[in-house]
Structure 1
């Protein structure tokens, strides 16, 4: 489509009333300097607070910002909805807390223009910087990633960073196969990409832990471990067909 944006920024949001507007203002200020067409899609994942209302009020005169409310299913479901309902060349998945400086998005786009189909932010690659993360959270994250590399996604140092950029055609094919609605959906998408021999570039980023993170340090790793097993079994049962448009 002639007027389709080059970039869609997709933000899953669940009960983000206290920080979402600040994040949107930062994004608006930075993206307003860009010379290409862009849009921001906020997917309200059935928030039970005032997230929906304050976003709708804020974007009233912001034609490049859109919000869509869906039934609460999880971050993976919200991102999938955004991916499948945008028409840009590139789709950028972005956490609502902006734990990565938004101006780093240009580095993702540069790599996409070089021909990569998927560029993912990495908090582990050489050159990455992490701030304010507890030792326990870091250890649990590394153990989780070790498990992932052992059985599903090879040679990726950080599957869970919330900043990822996709070629739209590839993204739509991958997310149509997605079955995980929770936090482990990243693992499923990257597994499907590797299964289809799609190159993934890990981009080292600066990342700052937010004390209001939605990740529950004990329960969510257990749920993610369950979902990893689910992905493994799905693959054995041939529930992930190869995609056609690579």
Structure 2
């Protein structure tokens, strides 16, 4: 990606962009993901870094990252003993020293090239930039199994109060201005499946500017989420989120959020 503006970060920032990868027992598929991301980030006109947040893995996830340290950009490992993807992502977000920070899943279901689209929107001043599988222009070459799709539809119906105009809360490809990320994640308490939803609810409550952009997303299989076995846990997360955010009022910023939705769909 080429951009006419200089990418010099603020004096307090170590990098323009840091990308966080939450990982739990990912030694077998983490290396291709890190290598693909590192190769793409090296070609961008920015200073960049990768950080893997090891969420208490019992395999060789950390050692795998150490072997990739010579990939041409800084790659580090941060430990997170508190279990849950949401906890791992939050650890990376609140401790970043970059100007912009994002996270993606270890399976790289969204290709590294989508980082360019996210950065373009950060350059334009958006504080929260959400990769979406459901806005205009998105594609899903490999879809989830039918049962997962059905569960997802139910989840979206049950959570519209929190998601507002955001069409896809659960895509694991989100980017932030670093200060916005710290404001959001400092108070995020959900650590499981619904943590993305809390992130969006808090961004809306803070009246941060937010936009979606279309991504290409392919189901990679191997998900640890079990619709029946984990359904009760997700319901509990949603109930706790409801209690936490019960005073989330309609905001005067509704007009700007509608504009954000329009821009994201035009993507």
TM-score, length basis structure 1: 0.91
* Count of aligned pairs: 237
Match of 1:31 in 2: 41
1:27-176 equivalences in 2 (<5 Å) = 27-59=37-69, 64-130=74-140, 131-149=142-160, 151-176=161-186
Cα deviation digits, residues 158-214 of structure 1 (max 9, x gap): 101000001100110111111111121111111011112222211111100011123
**How far apart, CA to CA, are the structure 2 residues paired with 1:4 and 1:94?**
20
**What per-residue deviation string (whole Å, max 9, x for no partner) do you get for residues 22-80 of structure 1?**
11111111111112100001000000112122222322675510011221411001001
Q: Check the 8 A contact 1:144/1:221 in 2, yes or no.
A: no
Distance in 2 (CA, whole Å) between partners of 1:2 and 1:211 is 40
| Unaligned ranges ≥5, structure 1 | 239-246
SS in 2 for 1:119: strand
- CA deviations 1:97-124 (Å, max 9, x no partner) are 0000111110011111111110101111
Alpha-carbon RMSD = 1.7
Instruction: Work out the CA distance in 1 between the residues paired with 2:40 and 2:208.
Output: 30
Corresponding position of 2:253: none
SS at match of 1:214: coil
Shift in alpha-carbon separation, 1:108–1:28, aligned structure 2, 3 A: same
- In structure 2, the gaps of 5 or more residues are 1-10, 249-267
Q: Secondary structure at the match of 1:161?
A: coil
Which deviates more, 204-213 or 218-227?
A: 218-227
Structure 1 runs, 4 residues or longer, greater than 4 Å off: 60-63
CA pair 166-221 structure 1, distance change in 2 beyond 3 A? farther
Alpha-carbon separation, structure 2, partners of 1:118 and 1:83: 13
